[in-house]
Structure 1
Amino acid sequence: MAEPLKNLFSADVIRAMGAVLARIDGFDRAAFEAQALSGLDDLEMMERSAQIAAALRAAMPLALPGALAPLTGLLHPDLQEGIDGGPPDAAGLRGWSLVPVGNYVAEDGLEHPEACLGFLAEMTKRFSAEFAVRPFFRDHPELTLETAAGWARDPNHHVRRLASEGSRPRLPWGIRLQDFVRDPAPVLPILAALKDDPSEYVRRSVANNLNDIAKDHPSVVTGIAARWMRDASGPRRRLVKHACRSLIKAGDPDTLAVFGYAAPGDLAADLNVSPAAITLGESLEVSLALTHKGAGPLPVLVDLVLGFRKANGQTAPKVFKWTETELPPGEPTQLTKSLPLKPVTTRRHYPGEQTVSVQVNGVIVAAREFELRVPDQDG
């Protein structure tokens, strides 16, 4: 069984932090460890981080921004591992131990944005400051955007990534940047500057930012995709496709057209689903024959869409990626797929008639029904 994420902030990590922080003249290590360790077993991951940040604040002999210089001096010298760095050691703070440090800076340093942003640029080289920087985007957008534009030119790829990851409108686990949700335009120059970054780590962050934007402004991202795909290198093509993944999955026709997937037109689809009734935990066997009746080959993106029954009897679609291929004219292409229907914690399954549909280039071309039996989910 995988180690619980909350153990990233274990008692050993807290004590290792205390040993490093004790090098600050006047830092109360005993008080820090006592407060940070109090009731630790009962706390979840982010609760632990918040408690460690509170303990750090209480034990610090200096307020911000005065505490930034000694904290900077305690950062680990290894700048290569970044977010994959291990726990703090005798060389300094790194890895997940820096999350509560970032929390402390973000909570107490908003009145000193320039100094704090400088510290976060150093901190991100040893982990990531993507969560800590977000209150500065929220409360000091012009200064932070200007700073992030400079980060996009930094020689360190962790700092360049901070420019795009920290400005994501809907970063998971991070506060939502509502101004950028409403209008992403201020962020777009930063993403454009990083679209051909030599680091895949950075390019993937750019893609994730655009995917966030696509949830509220799909046409903006489709337009960017069309422009960036002109004479695009392989890495940029992969970035753009990853950026458009939600739009592609949703079958957005304009986005699909950017990647050469036209409406299927004259296409015959023969779909078979077996068995006709299954029990949750079993697999659905899907077979499909696609015949393109037009002239020339047809590139296709084929997805399965399961319509799961809800409590009110209506269905909610869930898209499963299937395949990308090219259909020759006049010859049937056979496809098969086994689709396990397993219980998941994120969805409650209801018994009865469900649907399975085939989506080709964003268009539903065939559908079948099947019966789902659901054992007691509360037992």
Structure 2
Amino acid sequence: MGVMNELINPGVVGSLERILAAASPGSGLPRLAGTAAQLGERSLRERTDLLSRALLADLPGEYAGTSAVFRRALDDPGFTGWMIWPVTETAATLALASTKPGDFEDCLALLAELTPRLTAEFAIRRLLAADLDRALAVIRDWTSHPDWHVRRLASEGTRAYLPWAIRVPEITDRPAATLPILDALYRDPVVDVRRSVANHLNDLARHAPDEVVATAANWMAAPDENTAWVVRHGLRTLLKKAHPGALELLGFPPASIAVTSPRLESAAVELPGELAFEFDITNNGPAEARLAVDFVVHYAKANGTLAEKVFKLATPVLGPGESRTFSKRHAFRQMTTRVHHPGDHALQLQVNGVRYPAEEFTVLA
């Protein structure tokens, strides 16, 4: 994370100070200037909070005055990049503290103006958490905004599990609340917006799988050339979890097939190493079979229990009576996202949601 932390560095602080001083003539920004020497070993989030606290101390005390400074700063094309994150957090802090009518909604409008310069998806979470319905009443109108950055903010900012962002429990408790946003955007002409819609749908699938499948089915009933990809990406977790509705919608109904047990090249893998295996699938049915072929690795945990992870392998179509051999080499290497522990593991095949008997193997330190 060291490189990420440096996205807000003394140079960024200096540029932000210059731009805001020009947008607020006669106002000194001593607290902001002082943060350049205080960044130290702070994380990117901590640097953002440090700059935001300085802005709250330096700029006019009420939301209206500070938001006016930020809007004037938008005239400077250099007012962009990671300096925008502390600016958006400052605006949210002041709007949430304000008792003046309209400041909440104006802050959302300001975030929409700022989001093309970086993204306002992190700061918007605090407004959603404070009053979800009030915020969504504004955000839903963004789905027809002419700037795709704002349309993306409507979807990305309201995701249940937005990376780096605070959680908004009410979004997970009320999955239907954000579905109108996705309904309006799934055919957006910009790929970044459609990708956000798919990721948002995948987030909702953790808590509302049936509602997510129903939504995807409605989209498939009124598709464009990109809808199939949005649905596949949005249902990817449900597909791995073998949700029947998701499998059916994506064209993987139950099939009359025979699947052999995986044949392991070796019953032991020494770290770092690879597990090589192969297996056969035969279509015993009278019609062609479209298959979603996955494999499941049951990893040994430090406490001796097993934790599974599903991996995609292939999506073949087998004709009546056709047999096919599949092979794979799966890597076992220590990573920051997965620590491998020595011990007994297992490999299992999953085809169209049906799991077949597992083969055990051992990982050696």
- Normalised to the residue count of structure 1, the TM-score between the two structures is 0.90
Aligned counterparts of 2:259 and 2:294: Cα–Cα separation in 1: 16
Q: Tell me if the contact between 1:26 and 1:61 (Cα under 8 Å) persists in the aligned partners.
A: no
Give 1:182 shift.
0.7
Q: Tell me if the contact between 1:65 and 1:115 (Cα under 8 Å) persists in the aligned partners.
A: no
Q: Tell me if the contact between 1:26 and 1:60 (Cα under 8 Å) persists in the aligned partners.
A: no
Corresponding position of 2:38: 39
Q: Tell me if the contact between 1:121 and 1:129 (Cα under 8 Å) persists in the aligned partners.
A: yes
SS at match of 1:356: strand
Corresponding position of 1:102: 88
Would you say 1:21 and 2:20 are equivalent positions?
yes
The runs of 5 or more residues in structure 2 that have no matched partner are none
Pairing 1:186-265 to 2, within 5 Å after superposition: 186-265=177-256
Aligned counterparts of 2:180 and 2:293: Cα–Cα separation in 1: 34
SS at match of 1:357: strand
Give 1:366 shift.
4.2
Residue identity in the other structure for 2:129 = R
Deviation track 1:83-112 (CA, whole Å, cap 9, x = no partner) reads xxxxxxx63311111011111111221132
Corresponding position of 1:271: 262
| Equivalent residue for 1:361, pick from 352, 355, 359 | 352
SS at match of 1:228: helix
Aligned counterparts of 1:296 and 1:11: Cα–Cα separation in 2: 66
Give 1:135 shift.
1.6
Deviation track 1:286-313 (CA, whole Å, cap 9, x = no partner) reads 1121111111211111111100112343
Corresponding position of 1:335: 326
Q: Tell me if the contact between 1:21 and 1:74 (Cα under 8 Å) persists in the aligned partners.
A: yes
With over 3 angstroms needed to count, the CA separation of the structure-2 counterparts of 1:61 and 1:165, relative to structure 1, is same
Deviation track 1:30-78 (CA, whole Å, cap 9, x = no partner) reads 43111x22431210110111101111111214531211122112126xx
Corresponding position of 1:87: none
Would you say 1:126 and 2:125 are equivalent positions?
no
Q: Tell me if the contact between 1:268 and 1:292 (Cα under 8 Å) persists in the aligned partners.
A: no
Residue identity in the other structure for 1:57 = L
Q: Tell me if the contact between 1:65 and 1:116 (Cα under 8 Å) persists in the aligned partners.
A: no
Corresponding position of 2:70: 71
Count of aligned positions: 359
Aligned counterparts of 1:237 and 1:363: Cα–Cα separation in 2: 23
Q: Tell me if the contact between 2:198 and 2:230 (Cα under 8 Å) persists in the aligned partners.
A: yes
Give 1:332 shift.
1.6
Q: Tell me if the contact between 2:171 and 2:178 (Cα under 8 Å) persists in the aligned partners.
A: yes
Give 1:20 shift.
1.0
C-alpha RMSD of the superposition: 1.7
Give 1:270 shift.
4.3
Pairing 1:73-92 to 2, within 5 Å after superposition: 73-75=72-74, 91-92=77-78
After TM superposition, which residue ranges in structure 1, 4 or more long, deviate above 3 angstroms? none
Residue identity in the other structure for 1:48 = R
The runs of 5 or more residues in structure 1 that have no matched partner are 77-89, 375-379
Corresponding position of 1:138: 129
Pairing 1:144-163 to 2, within 5 Å after superposition: 144-163=135-154
Deviation track 1:125-169 (CA, whole Å, cap 9, x = no partner) reads 211111111221222323211111211111111111111111112
SS at match of 1:234: coil
Q: Tell me if the contact between 2:255 and 2:285 (Cα under 8 Å) persists in the aligned partners.
A: no
Aligned counterparts of 2:307 and 2:46: Cα–Cα separation in 1: 34
With over 3 angstroms needed to count, the CA separation of the structure-2 counterparts of 1:355 and 1:48, relative to structure 1, is same
Residue identity in the other structure for 1:70 = V
Would you say 1:345 and 2:336 are equivalent positions?
yes
Residue identity in the other structure for 1:206 = V
SS at match of 2:314: strand
Q: Tell me if the contact between 2:10 and 2:37 (Cα under 8 Å) persists in the aligned partners.
A: no
Give 1:231 shift.
4.5
| Equivalent residue for 1:116, pick from 94, 102, 107 | 107
Aligned counterparts of 1:146 and 1:298: Cα–Cα separation in 2: 46
Aligned counterparts of 1:105 and 1:14: Cα–Cα separation in 2: 17
Aligned counterparts of 1:47 and 1:16: Cα–Cα separation in 2: 19
Corresponding position of 1:79: none
Corresponding position of 1:49: 48
Give 1:28 shift.
2.0
SS at match of 2:64: coil
Corresponding position of 1:289: 280
Would you say 1:299 and 2:290 are equivalent positions?
yes
SS at match of 2:217: helix
Question: Percent identity among equivalent residues?
Answer: 35
- When structure 1 is superposed on structure 2, of 224-233 and 332-341 the one drifting more is 224-233
Q: Tell me if the contact between 2:220 and 2:227 (Cα under 8 Å) persists in the aligned partners.
A: yes
